[in-house]
């Protein structure tokens, strides 16, 4: 799996961080998403999928 984030779309809702905190974070300067782990282990993939689904603006993605 490869995780991506589009900061131009990000609205700083924090849903990704709440759902998958080992994969996503928010920058302190502006609250925009950052990817902590671009290639998460199998054990985190379900969380990543939920985070992708919960993003209100579709700013994050995951490719298998």
What confidence tens digit (pLDDT) does each residue in 22-53 have? Answer: 999 999 999 999 999 999 999 999 999 999 99
pLDDT of residue 20: 97
pTM of full prediction above 0.85 = yes
- The domains found in the chain, sorted by start residue, are 2-63 (3.30.70.20)
Residues 6+ apart with CB under 8 A from 22: 36, 37, 40, 44, 47
């Amino acid at each position: 799996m490869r995780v991506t984030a589009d900061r131009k779309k990000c609205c700083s809702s924090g849903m990704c961080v709440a759902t998958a905190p080992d994969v996503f974070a928010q920058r302190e300067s502006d609250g925009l998403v950052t990817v902590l782990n671009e290639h998460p282990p199998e054990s985190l993939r379900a969380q990543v999928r939920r985070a992708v689904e919960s993003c209100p603006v579709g700013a994050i993605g995951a490719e298998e």
